[in-house]
């Protein structure tokens, strides 16, 4: 699979994402439901802690990817849903650090609530290999 970053404006590079990614020669596509900070039984974790929830949602995403034989390096798109966009953006470097320089297309959306009353962020992903 070949990925080509499409960035007509350079500001997104400094933030760690691409405006788009052209994917050619892919083999498989994994469309993930939004992952959030819940345990294996669906119980919310880290109430009121954006950093903790963001890290745990990424852990859960990595688990889903791993079960499909993929890694974060295969992610081409992330959508973030958050009840507190400002807090999410303050902690966004946790995401870019976790992706270790691998960029992706992204959208950040503010929402009134998520599936659980304690949840602050959910991450939806598309991965290809």
CATH number of the structural domain spanning residue 36:
3.30.1330.40
pLDDT of residue 6: 94
Domain assignment of residue 78, yes or no: yes
Q: How many residues does the chain have?
A: 129
What's the confidence (pLDDT) of residue 26? Answer: 80
pLDDT of residue 101: 87
What are the average pLDDT values for consecutive 10-residue runs of the chain, which has 129 residues? 90 90 90 96 96 98 96 97 98 96 95 96 96
Please report the pLDDT score of residue 122 as a whole number. Answer: 98
Check if the beta carbon of residue 25 is closer than 8 Å to that of residue 1: yes
Answer yes or no: is 3 within a domain: no
Q: What is the reported pLDDT for 15?
A: 85
Output the pTM of the full model.
Answer: 0.89
Residue in 7, 1, 26, 32 with CA at minimum distance from that of residue 103? 7
Residue 21 domain flag? no
Q: What share of the chain is helix, strand, coil (3-state, %, to 5)?
A: 30, 30, 40
Closest to 47 measured CA to CA, from 126, 125, 119: 119
Residue 15 domain-assigned (yes or no):
no
In a domain, 20, yes or no: no
Which residues span the domain enclosing 66?
27-128
* Domains: count for the chain: 1
């Amino acid at each position: 699979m070949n990925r080509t970053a499409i960035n007509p404006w350079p500001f997104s590079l400094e933030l760690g994402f691409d405006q788009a990614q052209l994917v050619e020669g892919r083999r498989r596509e994994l469309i993930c439901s939004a992952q959030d900070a819940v345990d294996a039984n669906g119980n919310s974790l880290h109430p009121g802690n954006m950093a903790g929830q963001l890290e745990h949602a990424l852990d859960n995403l990595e688990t889903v990817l791993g079960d499909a034989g993929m890694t974060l390096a295969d992610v081409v798109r992330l959508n973030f849903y958050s009840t507190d966009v400002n807090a999410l953006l303050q902690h966004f470097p946790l995401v870019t650090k976790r992706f270790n320089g691998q960029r992706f297309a992204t959208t950040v959306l503010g929402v009134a609530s998520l599936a659980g009353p304690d949840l602050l962020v959910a991450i939806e992903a598309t991965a290809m290999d």
